[in-house]
């Protein structure tokens, strides 16, 4: 049990370090303009059109690092610091989110799987903590309940794991296009690659944290079963 808490502590520290590094990299590369002067919006629209996609809108959304692609209404949502900026960071983020739009248009398998899990995970996330808490309290009288909670949490873990290839592939598509389209060059392409690499690390840490938590809950359930 103590090993689990040590593991949680390590993951929390790594998560904090990765998040801090990502923000540092974004801030640094946000001060490096791309040669062609294209804004994040320009980059996004060009990548979409270069891939034959004309039914996806590029819109601005509030916040920092709130960029995302919404397959429901087919919108690439770029944060204010990306939408109107002509920096390397903005180009990388905009291209990454368009990478998801390209995945959607090409019916990329892992993205389809992640999208199909969204309603289930939304339901699971709402109730899982309550079910697990009740399961822990009633582990001796109603041991099945905690396993129901573990099953719900396992769905969120699967979602985190499936997200990894989706994000990595979107970054790969983005970097390839940025290079071939001439948006980045030999002087700044590695910067775009570095920014997206650290963004990917946040998803890796999240998946590891979810797996560790799942193992922890299973350990609690097995311990309760042995006591009963």
Active site (catalytic) residues: 97
Let me know how long the chain is. Answer: 228
By the 8 A CB rule, do 205 and 165 touch? no
- Which element (helix H / strand E) includes 1? none
What are the CA-CA distances from residue 30 to residues 41, 93, 228 (Å)? 15, 11, 58
CA dihedral (37, 38, 40, 42) in degrees, to 10, reads 160
């Amino acid at each position: 049990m103590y090993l689990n808490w040590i593991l949680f502590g390590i993951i929390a520290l790594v998560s904090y370090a990765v998040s801090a590094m990502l923000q540092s990299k974004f801030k640094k590369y946000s001060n490096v303009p791309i040669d062609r002067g294209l804004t994040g919006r320009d980059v996004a629209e060009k990548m979409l059109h270069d891939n034959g996609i004309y039914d996806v809108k590029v819109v601005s959304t509030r916040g920092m690092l709130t960029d995302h692609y919404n397959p429901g209404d087919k919108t690439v949502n770029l944060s204010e610091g990306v939408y109107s900026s002509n920096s390397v960071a903005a180009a990388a983020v905009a291209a990454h989110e368009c990478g998801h739009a390209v995945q959607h248009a090409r019916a990329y398998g892992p993205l389809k799987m992640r999208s199909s899990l969204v309603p289930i995970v939304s339901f699971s996330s709402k109730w899982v903590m309550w079910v697990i808490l009740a399961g822990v309290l009633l582990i001796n009288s109603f041991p099945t309940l905690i396993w129901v909670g573990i099953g719900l949490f396992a769905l969120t873990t699967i979602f985190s794991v499936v997200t990894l290839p989706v994000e990595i592939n979107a970054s790969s598509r983005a970097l390839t296009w940025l290079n071939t389209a001439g948006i980045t060059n030999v002087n700044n392409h590695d910067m775009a690659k570095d920014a997206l690499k650290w963004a990917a690390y946040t998803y890796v840490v999240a998946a590891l944290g979810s797996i560790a938590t799942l193992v922890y809950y299973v350990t609690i359930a097995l311990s309760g079963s042995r006591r009963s």
